[in-house]
Amino acid sequence: MNSDYRIEEQDKIEILEEKDVVVCRQACRNWAKRMNFNLIDQTRITTAVSELARNIQEYAGQGEVQIQIVEKDMRRGLRIIFIDHGPGIKNIKLAMSEGWTSHRGMGMGLPGAKRLMDEFALESEAGKGTTVTTCKWLPL
């Protein structure tokens, strides 16, 4: 998902503790507002970010979130990349199934975030960590 994007602007937020999830969510909402996403898309982005940043904090303990304004094929979007070096996801297919949870959550995190964003890519390796790359495009 990275090859054809031109990055206009970017920021990085470290996820080290629970309060960082809130900081990340607020930052992404502000970026979405600044880019003139409508309120519905701002809410979609914020909800996906909340789920995915919380996964970093809950399952890996720490990681980072990269926020980027990108352009591709004359479109502008908000790309958000979630990176951790935690235990990884043993069974991605199972983790992406509706209702499944390996913890005390509702099982909506990964598949829910995928539904809310226009692009979603998940890479994970047991013992090495997980990277989730998402993007929401401004309407043409």
SS3 label, residue 81: strand
For the stretch 90-108, pLDDT in tens is 888 888 887 656 555 544 6
CATH 3.40.1050.10 for the 6-137 domain, yes or no: no
List pLDDT tens digits, range 12-31. Answer: 999 999 999 999 999 999 99
pLDDT attached to residue 101: 62
**How many residues in the chain?**
140
Cα→Cα distances 23→10, 13, 26, 123, 135, Å: 16, 8, 5, 24, 19
| Mean pLDDT, residues 110-139 taken together | 96
Q: Give pLDDT, residue 106.
A: 44
Q: How many CB atoms lie within 10 A of CB 106?
A: 9
**Whole-model pTM?**
0.92
- In angstroms, the CA 56 to CA 113 distance is 14
pLDDT, average across residues 57-65: 95
